[in-house]
Structure formats: structure tokens, C-alpha cells
Structure 1
Amino acid sequence: MTSTDTGARQPRVVVVGTGFAGFHCLRTLERRLPDTELVAVNPADFMLYVPLLPEVAGGTLDPRRVAVPLRTKLPRTRAVLGNVTWIDLVGRTVTVVDVEGHRRDLTWDRLVIASGSVTRLLAIPGVAEHAKGFKSIAESVYLRDHVLRQLELADQTEDPAVRRERTTFVVVGAGYTGTELAAQGMELTRQAKQDARWILVDMADRVLPNLSERLSGPAQRILEKRGVEVRLNTSVSEVTGTRVRLTDGSEVPTRTVAWCVGVRPDPIVEPLGLPTTKGRLNTDEFLTVPGHPHVFAAGDVAAVPDLARPGEITPMTAQHAQRQGRVAGINVAASLGVGRRKPYKHRDLGFVVDLAGAQAVADPLHVPLRGWPAKIVTRGYHLLAMPTNRLRVAFDWIADLLTRRQVVHFGLVPEDGISLADADGPPRPQDRVDGFAGSRSG
């Protein structure tokens, strides 16, 4: 079934994606353009606060805490639940296939491409079939349930080899997400009163390779003190249903491989035929796509010039995506005659990494912290950055300090659809690389 949406009587702004960039763009537009029709195209009716997914997997936070509902936080925006399959820059339409498989065309006067990124899937035998992604609520809930199920099944077997496989968990990628996931996973299995082996693997020569050594060093020591095995300068050569082969020649018996290697830009930009950098759509400092003054891009999908580092583009982080979304909203409004446009310029204010329990590392304003001071800064930052659910998140954190985690699994998320092959499709030729380092997207 095909339908065409035409003839808007007022200007229509279509925003593709409601991640950090798209959500904050729409929040800005709702304030600045009260008489403009705003449309968000996204498969889900919420913005996902990705940085706290490891705490969902670790059982600290209820999954609903990291979902920001569009209906209540963006009351003036019409949400179209679906995926954009085609963008017509000349005819100013986007083709959307909704969640029930119906196709429709949406016209636009201004378009903001903020569709984010997808899991970076390397061409390594067995990864697509056996590794589990970690980029959605479903994946984080599944992983938590899967870990607890493996512990219970390990208790039931009398075969020591099977027991080793079920109680060994491998996290691939020692960036923000992988490091936090390994820390939260070890804490979850500890509170389940089960001996478990957690292994963190990365081709880099240190964990958190994108951070200062003043933070990555302490983070690695905290992990190792907890019992996490950190395998650096090491890649994965093959994954099967019961083991992982590493490039150092070793084999690890396991039935759990969490893939946190990193992300690549949403492939929706590839058919546009526009200039890209590392797969990201080129923009100017005003987030406008060159040659298309009515098209803007922000977040992971956009190669935005980094004015703080001439000649570079901004990294794919939630911090940049959130701020770019706001600037995109300002500049879209300016293009419609409201306000003046603004160049995007932002210096990193530091990073925070939660390592479960009382541990964290942070460098607010580039002052390195660890332990409780870093923990307070980390949680304070997330509470300030979250658009909603702050009180509920704070209550969950207090409960985690005062009580044990609820180590139960419900099996609500089926395994079908969780594998990387189902989630993101086959790897591209440019993803056939030898090394990797995890990162957190926004």
C-alpha cells in the first residue's frame, strides 16, 4: 500500500531519527517554531538514553528509565513510527515504511537527517551469527536475562566443560560501552553469588583508548582488581556457539559474546550520492549539507567540522550529538526566518565512565577523578543530561546502594532478532579491518 502526504499549509520540518541529535533538535524547534508542523520519523516512540544501557544490562536500572517518551516530551511533534528507505532531495520527500509494512511519502520544507549509527559489524567468521549486539533496550534486557540463565544452567550441569562455557562471558571492545558493560556484568554475577569469568578484549593497547591515560589506567586497574581479564592488543578471529578464538592463538570457551566494537553511520546516507567523510554526511559549520540549504544533518550520521580542532570532524559521542541537535534546531528556525543561525563549536568538557559499585573514573573540565568523587560526578552528569525520569533513576540508584540487585530473568526478549546478523545486516567491504576499538554513540 502506498500513500502520499502532500499539500501542507504551513512549513513542515521532518526530522529523521530521535536519538540525541534528533530529539534535542525537535525540542528546540517546538520552542522556536510554534506555527510550524514538526514530524519525527523513528521506529520507536521514544528517545533512548544510550549511556545508561550497561546499567540496564547489569540489573541496576529498570529498562523504562532509559526511554524518554516522545508523546509527553515532544507534545507538538507528530511521530511517524517507521524507517526511512529513500530521501528525494529534488522532490523534497522522504519515503517511509511504517511498523506495519505500509509505505508512504512525506513532503518536507526542511529536512534534518539525524538517524545516528548502527553496530559496526566486522567480517569475522561467526560474529554475525553468534555475537550479541548492545545498542538497544531489547539487546540489553536480553543480555541480562541471558547471563542469569547461563548461571542457572551452569548449576544444573555435571559437565565441567559445559559449566566453564556457561560461566564465561566475553565483551569485545574496550571503549566506553564495553568497559562499563564488563564492570556491570561482573557486579551482576557477583551479586548472584556465582563465580564467573569476564573477559574484555580489544585491539587497542589500553582500555578506554579515546580517554587520557590518567583515566584509562585507573579504570583498567579497577576492572582487574574485580577479576575482569583484560586482553589488549588482541582481536577476535572466530566466534562459534561455544568458544571464541583470539588472534593471540588462544581459545576461550564461552556461550556469550557481547559485541561493543563500535558503530558506523546509518547507511541511509549512502544512496544520496553526497560527499561523505568516513561514511558520515558532510556538513558545514552550520550543520547544513553543502549545496542543499534546506537539508541539515547532526549527530553520528554527520561529519561536522570541529572548529575547536581545525581540519578534524567531531567525534561520534552523545555529548556532541545532543549539542548539535540544539544547534540544528536553531539553524532550521533561522532558515525559516526565526532568529539567527549559529555555527557549531563545542569543546569536550570531559568524560564520565561508571564502573559499577562505588567506582567510576571521570575528568570534569579535564580534572581526573576516581572512586566516590568520580561516581558523584558521573551520576550527577547523567541526571542533568537526561530529559526525563531523573527521580526514578535516582531512586533506582539509591535502591542499588541499599539492597541487592534482583537477580531474576523473565525471558521476555526472544533470542530471535538479537544476533548481529538480524540487527544490522552483513558487514560492508570497508568494515573488513584487522583492529577495532569500541565507542559510545549518540
Structure 2
Amino acid sequence: MKPQRIVVVGAGHVGLYAALRLSKKLSARRAEVVVIDPQPHMTYQPFLPEAAAGNISPRHSVVPLRRALKRCRIISGEVTRIEHARKTVTIAPIEGPTTELSYDHIIVAPGSVSRTLPVPGLREHGIGFKTIGEAIFLRNHILDQLDVAAVTPDPEVRRAALTFVFVGGGYAGIEALAEMEDVVRDALKVYPELRQDEVRFVLVEATNRILPEVGPDMGAYAARQLAGRGIDLRLDTRLESCVGGVVRLSDGDEFRTETLVWTAGVKPSPMLDRTDLPRGPRGHVTCKPTLQVVDGDKVLDGAWSAGDCAQVPDLANPGAFCSPSAQHAVRQAKVLADNIRQVVLGGAPKDYKHKYAGSVASLGLHKGVAKVYGIKLKGYPAWIMHRTYHMSRIPSLNRKTRVVADWTLALIFKREVVSLGQLHKPREEFTDVTPPLAGDRASSPVGAGAR
């Protein structure tokens, strides 16, 4: 009997966990699991703020696919089209021509991208916070700005360099803001030229609250804690423009900054625009509680989805859909894998139902808020719960051990506050000292276009 081919599009929380479980629950005789992703790793996004702060090594916040999914076939490339009517995907590999791959089952889990708005200047000056590359860049950029401020004789340049603006008051924005404020506060100890009262962190949030996931009481506590650290909270305020690095807010304020971090929500991956799968009003793939893709009342045979890109009914909260959180994604991946296994073996799929346990959020080193099963925690206990939960969620004993080792070393030694900005343009210095030969195409360096 020919094994059924299960194609997994995307290796995020859903893709990696589902592929890992399928590879363990189905033998090679029954199924071949193929995972397609442009990146050779899964990024554990809840650890991005800690990676940016230097609390853990960036490499320890990602999971190598080939090491974690030894029983799966890994294809490094981008899915450019899904034609479920023919049960084929079109793949653009990192090198070579596009190819088509047929399947029996497909898990559509490309995740999400930053939800940006048509704000003038945002494309040129904004920094995202969705990938490990963006987290590393943000850390290096902020530390570079301290160097700029320490040496410039121009007070306007100094003021702009020491002004850090974060847009978005959800998990990503608050945790990134709080961690980076800690980094700057620690770094100033080795910058005698700079004073703490010169540093300005600004949070811009369009609604009247932050961290809605932890409830109004804990959100208000988090706001008081951040304000007590001197962070300027602009609630009910929108970013209207940042042309030329000049921030203009809806409350009428205007100032210059060299750092603008955009964390104002996510939207489904634009890859879904190149599929024939049914989608909801906000672009999500429409699903049943069984995580099967549906078109109205019709179940599409062999099509499955979950996570950020899927619209899954929340059976624990009738009339609502599951939130785009890691908590739901990890649990959906387990049910999805079990359901595919049941179908492959001739059984029937089961509904996904999970009562939201609560939320935990870090407010920097030794600080946090949490609301778990109705119990509210704040300060150090919430921070411990935040770390414990996410350490338990990151896949593989290898990664758990490395993360705990990083945290242990951070307790013993002082935080590293050195910028490695050359990482972003590693060939620049070599190119400057290497003269082009007559007739050579200096604009085409060796390795251009390679990964």
C-alpha cells in the first residue's frame, strides 16, 4: 500500500508540532510527512523579547527543523501556490526552478505577518518584531543609538537617538518595550556621558488599555508599573506619520526619533491569496472545530488548517473564534495531527475544544503580570510563571536545557550590552578595501543572491 503524503505548509507552532506528532504516530508505511518552509528553523516567538534583551542566545530561541523532524522530509523553499482542486502545491526552492508536489492531506499553517497601516514614513523607518532577525537588529540598533548619543555634540541628534517609540500595546509590544528599557537602563551604567533622565521610551496604543489578554485589572497594574519606570504611555493615540524620523501623533505631539518599533497586531500570511481555499472576512482560512477546511457547510477532503491563519470556532466560547495565540496553536496542532491520523487509519476526527487557561506577560527582568484560571499574579511570581510556562512549551530537551543554562548564567554575570551591528552588513568592510578590476562588474559581488 502506497503511503499517503501529508504536506505541511509552514513550520511555525502549528506546523512543527503537528509534523512532529504525525511522524511519531504514523509509520513510514502509512504516511510520508513533508514540511515546507523558507527558513531552516521554527522561531519560538514568545522568546523574541528575551533574545533581543540578551537574556538568552538568539540561536536558543529557534528550533532547527532537520534536527527536530528527523522522520520528516524537509523542503527549504516557499509555497507560491496551493491548488486544492488538484491537490498540488507549487514550491519555489531557495535555489532552482519551481516544482509541483501532489498530496493526500495538506496542513495550511503559514502563520501571520505584521499588520501594518498606510502611515507615511512607516515603510522607511519602522522596525518589525516578528522574526529573530528583527529581534537581533533591534538590540543592535538601540545600543548603536547609545553610542551615537554619547559622542554627538548636536543636542537634537542626541535627543532623537535617546527616544525610543513602540507602537502597539499587546504582548509583543509591551514585552519588547519592557525588556529593551531594562537593557538601556543597564547599559547606561557604562556610559558616563549619558543620564537616565535623557532617555525617553514612548508607547503608542490606539485603544485605552494595554495587555487586554490579562484582563483590565492586571493591564492597569502593568500600565502603572511601566509609567513608574518613566515610560510615556500614550493611550487612545494613533501614529499618524513618521516621515523623516519625525513622529506625529493623533494627540498633536510631534518629536524626532531614530527608533520606531511596530508591533500593532498581525494578519494572515499573504501566501493565502495564492490559494483556492475558502477564507473568512479577515483573510483567515475557514475551518470546522475539527480543524478541517470548510466552504460553507462543505468539508474539503484532505485540507486542514490551524493557528494564526485559521478561523476556528471556539467551542468554549460559543459564537467566537480562537484567538491567534501560541496557547491555542500548540494545542490545535496536537488535535490536528491526531485527527489526520484517525482519517488515514479510517476513523473520524474529533472537535478541538480548549478553555483558555489565561495569560502571562513579562515586564522585564523579575517583573510580570499573569491571570491563570482566574488567579491574578504580579511582580516576581508572575515573571517566574512566565518563564516556566514558555520553557515548558519550547520543543526538545536540547532547547529547554540551553535556555535554562542562559538564564542561569544571566543570574551570575552582568548583562552584555555590546552591539554587533556589523552582522547586518558583514561584507561592507571587505568590499571597501578590495579594489574592483578594470571591466569587472563591481555591483555583482561573489555570493550575491545566495542564502
Shift of residue 366, structure 1, vs aligned partner:
2.1
- Counterpart selection for 2:175 from 165, 176, 180: 180
Shift of residue 273, structure 1, vs aligned partner:
5.4
* Cα separation, 1, equivalents of 2:323 and 2:348: 26
1:311 is the counterpart of 2:313: no
Shift of residue 101, structure 1, vs aligned partner:
5.3
Paired residue for 2:437?
A: none
* Cα separation, 2, equivalents of 1:185 and 1:47: 23
Shift of residue 206, structure 1, vs aligned partner:
1.2
* Cα separation, 1, equivalents of 2:151 and 2:102: 58
Kindly provide the amino acid, as one letter, of the partner of residue 28 in structure 1: R
Paired residue for 1:301?
A: 309
Aligned residues: 409
- Counterpart selection for 1:274 from 256, 269, 278: 278
Q: Which moved more, 1:301-310 or 1:210-219?
A: 210-219
* Cα separation, 1, equivalents of 2:236 and 2:415: 34
RMSD: 1.6
Shift of residue 399, structure 1, vs aligned partner:
2.4
1:393 is the counterpart of 2:403: yes
Q: Secondary structure at the match of 2:214?
A: coil
Q: Which aligned pairs between 1:61-210 and structure 2 lie closer than 5 A?
A: 61-100=56-95, 102-193=97-188, 194=194, 195=196, 196-210=199-213
Q: TM-score, normalised by structure 2?
A: 0.88
Shift of residue 86, structure 1, vs aligned partner:
0.5
Paired residue for 2:441?
A: none
Map Cα deviations across residues 378-427 of structure 1 (whole Å, 9 max, x no partner).
111011111131121112222223322111111244389xxxxxxxxxxx
* Cα separation, 2, equivalents of 1:182 and 1:400: 19
* Cα separation, 2, equivalents of 1:30 and 1:221: 47
Map Cα deviations across residues 304-349 of structure 1 (whole Å, 9 max, x no partner).
0100111111111111111111111111111111665221001111
When residues 373 and 210 of structure 1 are mapped into structure 2, their CA distance, relative to the original with a 3 A threshold, is closer
CA contact (8 A) 1:61 1:393 kept: yes
CA contact (8 A) 1:171 1:201 kept: yes
Q: Secondary structure at the match of 1:211?
A: helix
Map Cα deviations across residues 176-234 of structure 1 (whole Å, 9 max, x no partner).
01000110011000110153211111011011133301210111111111121111000
Q: What are the ranges of 5 or more consecutive residues in structure 2 without an aligned counterpart? A: 189-193, 427-451
Q: TM-score, normalised by structure 1?
A: 0.90
* Cα separation, 2, equivalents of 1:222 and 1:168: 19
- Counterpart selection for 1:402 from 404, 412, 417: 412
Q: Which aligned pairs between 1:307-386 and structure 2 lie closer than 5 A?
A: 307-337=315-345, 340-386=348-394
- Counterpart selection for 1:13 from 1, 6, 9: 6
Stretches (4+) displaced over 4 A: none
* Cα separation, 2, equivalents of 1:234 and 1:160: 27
Q: Which moved more, 1:70-79 or 1:160-169?
A: 70-79
* Cα separation, 1, equivalents of 2:407 and 2:243: 36
CA contact (8 A) 2:125 2:245 kept: no
* Cα separation, 1, equivalents of 2:351 and 2:425: 44
Q: Which aligned pairs between 1:209-224 and structure 2 lie closer than 5 A?
A: 209-224=212-227
* Identity in percent: 39
Q: Which moved more, 1:347-356 or 1:405-414?
A: 405-414
Rg (Cα) greater in structure: 2
Shift of residue 34, structure 1, vs aligned partner:
1.4
Paired residue for 1:25?
A: 18
Map Cα deviations across residues 354-393 of structure 1 (whole Å, 9 max, x no partner).
1112111111222010011111111110111111311211
* Cα separation, 1, equivalents of 2:410 and 2:174: 20
Higher relative contact order (CA 8 A, sep 6+): 1
Q: Which aligned pairs between 1:240-279 and structure 2 lie closer than 5 A?
A: 240-271=243-274, 272=276, 274-279=278-283
Q: Secondary structure at the match of 1:84?
A: strand
When residues 337 and 211 of structure 1 are mapped into structure 2, their CA distance, relative to the original with a 3 A threshold, is same
